[in-house]
Amino acid sequence: MYPDAEIDVWDGHGSGGMFPEDVVGANYIPHTQRPYHDLSGYAAVLFVGQHAMAGTPFAPLCHTYSSLTIAYYRLNGMFVGEFGARAFLAGLQGVPVIMLAGDDKAAREAQILIPEIETAVVKLGKGLEAAVSLSSEEACACVRQAAERAVRRLDEIPPLTGLEPPYTLEIRYYEPIDPKRWQNRPGVSIIDNRTVQITSDDLKAMPF
Non-local (6+) Cβ contacts of 47 within 8 A are 83, 97, 99, 100, 101, 102, 110
Chain segment 28-76, per-residue pLDDT in tens = 999 999 999 999 999 999 999 999 999 999 999 999 999 999 999 999 9
What is d(CA 190, CA 33) in angstroms, rounded to the nearest whole number?
A: 29
Q: What confidence score (pLDDT) does residue 183 get?
A: 87
Cα atoms found within 13 Å of the Cα of residue 47, Cβ hemisphere only:
33
Residues 46/150, Cβ–Cβ less than 8 Å: yes
- Between CA 195 and CA 64 the distance in angstroms is 15
pLDDT for 147-191, tens place per residue?
999 999 999 999 999 999 999 999 999 999 999 999 889 999 999
d(CA 87, CA 9): 16
- Put residue 58 in one of left, alpha, beta given phi > 0 → left and psi -120 to 50 → alpha: left
Residue type, 154: L
Q: Where are the alpha helices (DSSP H) in 21-135?
A: 82-92, 104-113
**Confidence band, pLDDT 50/70/90 cuts, at residue 3:** confident
Predicted TM-score (pTM) of the model is 0.95
**pLDDT above 90 as % of the chain:** 94
Domains with residue ranges and CATH for the chain: 34-205 (3.40.50.10780)
Helix/strand/coil percentages in the chain, nearest 5? 25, 30, 45
pLDDT tens digits along 67-108: 999 999 999 999 999 999 999 999 999 999 999 999 999 999
Q: What is the distance between the alpha carbons of residues 198 and 187, in angstroms, rounded to a whole number? A: 5
